[in-house]
Structure 1
């Protein structure tokens, strides 16, 4: 079975189409304010997102980051900024496309498939409510990380909230704090 990837990989695991595009930025609030005038948004900002059970490149680590979540067309649009902390490994680099996220039925199985197909696990973590997710190296053909997570009810509700806020949005209150 192919997952429809166009970089020549012969993936043997199911991974649906993109549900989120994420861009690396230096300041999520300023970047959100810059995207809003072109119709992306409104944005919901979460600062210093709490994570647990975090590994970077297989080693226990911290990943202190902030994100702003908006809606663009048919996908969630995230702006992500990693805060430098002593001893942290940098996984959010220069400005530009950082990752493309996909819902998957089985996080562990798809992660194993990505690793088997040459896409090393860069980050594995859990949100404060226990939802696991992973970033995998997308390789030179993609030029960005691949994020995967299971569409648990709480996550689907968050996606729905962000999408619903964008419907009929007139540009008012473009940057909101969660």
Structure 2
């Protein structure tokens, strides 16, 4: 399994995109809108959906995600940072068998912090590995929808004219 993404929790998405672009030269950032992660289970119990505002940007082969938390309540996102705090939240990996990979990580001493469905019912999970790595691990199935998001993010810099730093997914 390979790490395909690193995600940062940020206070303000637009400012974080500008800061990362200015410091690292990456762009464009794809997304920029609020979305809900539904059918939330927090540590095995039903919980309210989590609202985030997010963007993807590519740096070589590594995808970088920036997320601004917009909702309250328990979640893997709230476990890591208090309101106003920023930092690395998770690394992400595809897995051929979601349930098997989740079970393997739990057997290695991690816990399932949050699970959601995304898009058309795609299961995603945040595994709490803070005691080992200092952050969460996001796992999701080897799904064409998510792979397509990564492909679009990889191709976006070659088509970007530099006008808008944050580009909606539908315009990417």
TM range (shorter): 0.7 to 0.9
Query: TM-score if structure 2 supplies the norm length?
Result: 0.86
Greater fraction helix: 2
Residues 127 and 80 of structure 1, relative CA distance in 2, 3 Å threshold: same
Query: TM-score if structure 1 supplies the norm length?
Result: 0.83
- How far apart in 2 are the matches of 1:26 and 1:92? 13
1:48 CA drift (Å): 2.7
Extract unaligned runs of 5+ from structure 1: 1-15
Say whether residues 1:20 and 2:5 are aligned partners: yes
Q: Counterpart of 2:42? A: 56
Helix, strand or coil at the partner of 1:110: helix
Would the aligned equivalents of 2:93 and 2:139 in 1 still touch at CA under 8 Å? yes
Say whether residues 1:73 and 2:80 are aligned partners: no
Would the aligned equivalents of 1:81 and 1:92 in 2 still touch at CA under 8 Å? no
- How far apart in 2 are the matches of 1:59 and 1:83? 21
- How far apart in 1 are the matches of 2:79 and 2:135? 11
What is the RMSD computed on CA atoms of the aligned residues? 1.7
Aligned 1:36-115 pairs, distance under 5 A: 36-37=21-22, 38-61=24-47, 62-85=49-72, 87-89=73-75, 90-93=78-81, 94-115=85-106
Extract unaligned runs of 5+ from structure 2: none
Helix, strand or coil at the partner of 1:50: strand
1:52 CA drift (Å): 2.3
Q: How many correspondences in the alignment?
A: 162
Residues 109-142 of structure 1 deviation map (CA, whole Å, 9 limit, x = unaligned): 1011111111100010001311111000113331
1:41 CA drift (Å): 1.9
Greater fraction strand: 2
Say whether residues 1:131 and 2:122 are aligned partners: yes
- How far apart in 1 are the matches of 2:5 and 2:159? 20
- How far apart in 2 are the matches of 1:36 and 1:169? 13
Residues 120-178 of structure 1 deviation map (CA, whole Å, 9 limit, x = unaligned): 00010001311111000113331110000112111111110111002364643211233
